[in-house]
Amino acid sequence: MRHTTSKPVRLKTLALLSCLLLSPTAFAETLDFRQAVERALTQNPDILAAGAQIDQARAAVDQSQGARLPKLTASLNATRTDDALNAFGLKLSQRNATFNDFGANEFTGPGALGVAPANLNHPDAINNFNARIEAQLPIYTGGLIEGYAAQASAYLSAAQHGDVMARQRVIFDVLRAYEGVHTARAYVDVARQGRTAAESYVKTINNLLKGGVVVKSDLLSAQVHLEDIKIQQTQAENTASQALDQLHLLLGMPLSAPLDVGASVNVKALDSSLPDYQDEALKSNPGLAALRNQMDAAQAAIQVARAAKYPQAGLLARFDTNDNNLGFDAHSYTVGGQLTWQLYDGGVTDGAIARAQASRSELAAKLNQAEMGIAYQVADAWRRAAEAQQRVDARALAVAHAEEAQRLVEKRYSSGIATITELLGAQAQLDKARADLVAARYDLKIQRANVRLAAGRLQPDQL
């Protein structure tokens, strides 16, 4: 027997497939909060910039350490000259000087002592090819090399703390955007609940109007209320789309890329007292740590400036070859040491020291201001979190009361005791209470996270 599918079943199947194809989240990539953070940390421009700063600081450390080691250079120089002094000197370097170069052929006795030798004063042009290997080793620099090394290490630590700060800031931004999507969708749910209630009112009042129980103005008021709710629902849906777009941008994803969020984050309650969080913030906040590292670098800069007041000593070793053709004849070596001490420079060094000290004093003032600012930020976020918790409790109670009040007013309206204004007002109050509860829950999560951010321990596994 041949079986055929009925037309209504086929239509339902096509409709279901169409809904799946048109749904924006049907094939969207769903990221939970931890995955969203990992995506943001690999693509966020601030993180990439912080990584580049660390690389620069590491290179500076390597550069400062290299200054302690000998410098080895190799060179090859070609010269042609008829300058009397240089030509004679090059002949000596080539081991080719002869008595004739002194004008010996023109010396005829004591009476020729006043004769200017032509070969010595007017030599022919000479070629010289010099190959040289030279090594220089600093022995004492008055603390210059040590200062540069300390400065580079301090800047590396500052860059690393800056990277930690940037990462925690990205985590906070992802939390706001991620929970912003959930919050916007919660507003959509509130709007849908309001729309369902408004549509029910229109239907109920229309039936009552047909039965002569209510007047037509009640129906018109209910219809106007329904249209207002539809507008609010559209606005809520647009806000949800905007929140998801913001998450796209934060994760470095094209707006056209399908994306959805996983479960909402349950930010844990704060587990210490306010003074404990403030103390931890002063010790662990990466921004403060970076400023302290910058102060260490400024102190090292003072050491670098003071190095000019002390002697500088070094060793040198050199190996040369000189040839009038391209070759490596006439070997020679030179070894030596040098000690220099700048006794007076017109106050240049003193000025450099004073400038470095002023720079450190400026950083000390900034650090003091930043410490007070962090303590205030922790206290402010702590108070806001406590206030948000109270608001969540109060809004939850307000929703329960508003639901009961709406139920009673609806019952009274059906009995002809309450007016349409009272009925719609009760529903509006319920919608507002639900929306306020959504906002309070979002604010509570953000303020709890803000306290942890200021304390310097905002990590996905610590929320």
Tokens of 69: 């080691």
Position 27 scores a pLDDT of 58
Residue 392 has pLDDT above 60, yes or no: yes
Q: Are 406 and 198 in contact (CB under 8 A)?
A: no
CA–CA distance, 331 with 322 (Å, rounded to integer): 7
Mean pLDDT (whole number) for 130-145: 93
CA–CA distance, 274 with 285 (Å, rounded to integer): 15
Sign of CA dihedral 25, 26, 28, 32: positive
CA–CA distance, 431 with 190 (Å, rounded to integer): 7
Choose the weakest-confidence range: 81-95, 100-114, 353-367: 100-114
Closest CA to 375 of 277, 449, 271, 273: 277
- In this structure, the number of other CB atoms found within 10 A of the CB of residue 17 comes to 10
Helix 216-251 / helix 420-455 crossing angle, nearest 10 deg: 20
**pTM over 0.85, yes/no:** no
- In this structure, the number of other CB atoms found within 10 A of the CB of residue 449 comes to 23
Mean pLDDT (whole number) for 422-426: 88
Domains of the chain (ranges plus CATH)?
Answer: 28-68+143-312+347-462 (1.20.1600.10)
Q: What single string gives the DSSP state of each residue in 263-323? A: SPP-PPPP-S-HHHHHHHHHHH-HHHHHHHHHHHHHHHHHHHHHGGGS-EEEEEEEEEEEE
Tokens of 380: 């402010």
- pLDDT tens profile 284-318: 899 999 999 999 999 999 999 999 999 999 999 99
56: CB partners within 8 A, 6+ apart: 159
3-state secondary structure of 181: helix
Position 99 scores a pLDDT of 86
Burial of 205 (0-12, 13-18, 19+ CB in 10 A): buried
Q: Are 433 and 398 in contact (CB under 8 A)?
A: yes
Q: Are 62 and 149 in contact (CB under 8 A)?
A: no
Q: Are 233 and 188 in contact (CB under 8 A)?
A: yes
Residue 438 has pLDDT above 90, yes or no: yes
Mean pLDDT for all residues in the chain: 88
- pLDDT tens profile 60-72: 999 888 888 999 9
User: Which helix (DSSP H) or strand (DSSP E) does residue 447 occupy?
Assistant: helix 420-455
149: CB partners within 8 A, 6+ apart: 61, 64, 65, 67, 68
Position 215 scores a pLDDT of 86
| Dihedrals phi, psi of 74, to nearest 5 degrees | -125, 140
Q: How many helices (H) and strands (E) does the chain have?
A: 11, 6
Residue that has been written with the tokens 């905007």 in this structure: 242
Q: Are 107 and 68 in contact (CB under 8 A)?
A: no
- pLDDT tens profile 157-213: 999 999 999 999 999 999 999 999 999 999 999 999 989 988 988 988 888 888 887
**Beta partners for residue 127, in sequence order:** 80
**Beta partners for residue 75, in sequence order:** 132
Q: How far is CA 79 from CA 92, 276, 278, in A?
A: 14, 75, 71
CA–CA distance, 225 with 229 (Å, rounded to integer): 6
Residue 25 has pLDDT above 60, yes or no: no
Closest CA to 254 of 245, 265, 243: 245
Q: What is the CA radius of gyration of the chain?
A: 42
